[in-house]
Amino acid sequence: MMKRLLAVWHARNLEFLRDRPTLLFTLLLPLGVVISMGFIYGGPPRPLFTVGVLGTDVARHANPFLHERYVQSVPIHDAAAGLYKITHQSIDLLLDLDGTARYWVNTDSPKGYIVEKLLIAADPGARRQPVTGQAVRYVEWLFPGILAMNMMFSCLFGVGYVVLRYRKSGFLKRLHATPLSAFEFLSAQVLSRLSLILFVTALLYVLIAAIIHFHSAGSIGLLLLLAVIGSLSMIALGLTVAARFGSEEVVGGLLNLLTWPMMLLSGVWFSIDSSPRWVQWVADIFPLTQLIDAARAVMLDGAGLQRITPNLIYLAVTTLVFLAFGAWSFRWRVD
């Protein structure tokens, strides 16, 4: 028995080592994640206070207060956006460097109280503009991200592995003998997964909202529209991965290669507003980022259709692109 066991063990090891794409993903994916996350989030300790700055980069760099230890400055290009952030305590102080120095501080914020003392010590002439507003609870801010992340995993892995299993079992080969086209097959998979995702997401929304006593500030109908288009985009992305490959290891590696950056950079767990600008540009490419940003705008801010229209258009365009590419590259059988 031991001889047979060792023979199978040896054969499986050789099979894995000869599958170069699988070996490559196994070695490079965790290495790449560690290096990239260390590069993006490494360096010195995070600052204690975040100050939004209205003004030019020259004025921001010349202001001595913004070079204080543990104070991080974030450029704000729109005064309304800055006031929204300070009202909801996503930044600790808003400083206007255009003309006469003035600042806004949230009188309900403990960190705002402390950072204001530092500003007054550095610039006693700054004019105070008090605002009020309670901070959004972290669990409420996290809620849209968790729902979107669950949708992402269900869409990518639920579709990718199903199509792969159909191909390896020969089911797709039999379907190929019928008049069914690749586009029709993929569309049916999209609609099937979409109905399941919407049911599960709606159920989770009701249960979690009841537990944390959350009430959406925006329209539930708008959230449903966003869930439909966002799910379609990520389902179509999962189909493009499974359209050609016949190896579970390769498909799994590609899906992990997609899900990990999205999960870490799309703002599921924390905001990336203070990250380098190029990181934010990369994050904006991901469908998950567009879905989370729009969902938070609706659920937390009561945003309407006009505000999230750019997100919806982006998700709709990526859906069509992914689905068209998946249909074009689809392969019915394993070579």
d(CA 126, CA 281): 34
- Where is average pLDDT lowest: 124-133, 225-234, 257-266? 124-133
Place of tokens 């990990």: 260
Contact 154, 200 (CB under 8 A): yes
Place of tokens 């490494």: 42
Helix axis angle, 220-242 relative to 138-169, nearest 10°? 40
d(CA 42, CA 139): 25
- Where is average pLDDT lowest: 25-39, 139-153, 161-175? 25-39
Pick the CATH number of 49-131 from 1.10.8, 1.10.10, 3.40.190, 1.10.3720: 3.40.190
Question: pLDDT digits over 226-242, tens only?
Answer: 999 998 888 888 878 77
The pLDDT of 103-108, averaged and rounded, is 82
Q: Which two tokens stand for residue 201?
A: 């997401």
Find the largest Cα–Cα distance for the chain: 86
Q: What is the mean pLDDT of the chain?
A: 77
Torsion of CA 276, 146, 85, 289, to 10 degrees: 40
d(CA 170, CA 333): 7
**Count of alpha carbons within 13 angstroms of residue 238, beta-carbon side:** 30
Which range of 57-66, 85-94, 306-315, 316-325 scores highest in mean pLDDT? It is 306-315
Which range of 37-46, 203-212, 315-324 scores highest in mean pLDDT? It is 315-324
Contact 155, 197 (CB under 8 A): yes
pTM of the model: 0.68
pLDDT band at 35 (very low <50, low <70, confident <90, very high): low
Domain positions in the chain: 49-131, 138-329
The proportion of the chain whose per-residue pLDDT surpasses 70, expressed as a percent, equals 77
Quickly list DSSP for 63-124. -GGGGSTTEEEEE-S-HHHHHHHHHTTSSSEEEE-SSS-EEEEETT-HHHHHHHHHHHHH-T
If one compares 38 and 74, the residue with the highest pLDDT of the two is 74
Q: Identify the helix (H) or strand (E) that includes residue 316.
A: helix 305-329
pLDDT band at 268 (very low <50, low <70, confident <90, very high): confident
Q: Identify the helix (H) or strand (E) that includes residue 96.
A: strand 93-96
pLDDT band at 26 (very low <50, low <70, confident <90, very high): low
